Amino acid sequence: MTARVGRAAGIVTAAAVLAIALPFVANGYFVGVGFTLLVWIALTESWIVISGMTGYISLGHVVFVGIGAYIAAMTWLVLPIWAILPLAGLAAAALAMFVGYPCLRVRGPYFVILTFGISELVKYIVVNIEAALAVSGRVLFGAPGVETLYLMALALAWASVIIALVVRDSRFGSALRAIRDNEEAAETIGVAIGRFKAAAFVLSSVIPGMVGALMIMRSTYFDPQIFSPQTSVLIVTMAVIGGSDRPLGPALGVGFLILLQELLWANLPQLYMIVVGALLIAVVVWLPGGIYVRLQQMITAAGR
């Protein structure tokens, strides 16, 4: 680990330690907002391990959230929480391993559409399983309170930022970027592209699986609609608005959108979505690199 990454990791860790205090000083509303914020940071930061670094844009990341949530719902009250969370992560990793190799053989728009298709397929399979079992939604009794969930989400968000930082700085990360820039060239100089892509895909699926478990503990309810494609799209949107090339960019995008959501969602949900759409267009067309890069440029310019 280089000194620069060590410092960034140190700052992130210090921020996480400070954030532990929130449930003890703030009321339930702010802890709830904090939970949402952390959950989305965990999701977008894990997404960039595959999509930001290799350029394989996954539009189906919600499938890992959904499968983790489903496993958690089925093992709820059967297993203790400390066993459910890792199990949800493992289930997501197993799914990623199963679909990763075949999916990552196709590129560009085919991969984007394929990941979307797979997440929808898994959703409809779960819908049909639940219908066959005659279950319409599962209620989770005795879920932990928002303060406990907040701390768990904090741990996941911290872990996913650290993973993104460390991977980016490692030889593994260089290999992934080589794949993004020129896959044939990377293969020629001896990067085991198949294995690296699959490894990144599996690595990016574990935290979303655990996040899925946390999300249903928060809503105390499981419904196959948790596999909503909107979640996948929001992950991509947040990462892109923030800037998916830098490890801290996505977190900025999340903060920005969640703030906007809190301001507008309750009264004007449609206006919120319109603003999100307009922001997305504006960033892609006029601000490539995202707001993080632009902020950095502004800070550098101001420092001169």
Contact set with other proteins (CB under 8 A): 55, 57, 59, 102-103, 105-110, 112-114, 117-118, 120-121, 124-125, 127-128, 131, 229, 233, 236-237, 240, 270-271, 273-274, 276-281, 284-285, 288
For the record, the structure tokens of 36 come out as: 């949402």
Q: Which is nearer to other proteins, 59 or 154 (CB)?
A: 59
Q: Which is nearer to other proteins, 90 or 280 (CB)?
A: 280
Q: What are the start-end ranges of the H helices in 133-182?
A: 146-169, 171-181
Q: What are phi and psi of 261, to 5 degrees?
A: -65, -45
Which has the closest alpha carbon to 290: 52, 57, 109? Answer: 52
CB of 241 to other proteins, least distance (A): 10
Q: Which is nearer to other proteins, 123 or 218 (CB)?
A: 123
Q: Which is nearer to other proteins, 139 or 284 (CB)?
A: 284
CB of 288 to other proteins, least distance (A): 5
Q: Which is nearer to other proteins, 17 or 281 (CB)?
A: 281
CB of 80 to other proteins, least distance (A): 34
CB of 285 to other proteins, least distance (A): 5
CB of 250 to other proteins, least distance (A): 14
84: left (phi over 0), alpha (psi -120 to 50) or beta: alpha
d(CA 164, CA 204): 9
Quick one: CA torsion of 280, 284, 285, 286, rounded to 10 degrees? 90
Burial class of residue 166 (count of CB atoms within 10 Å of its CB; 0-12, 13-18, 19+): middle
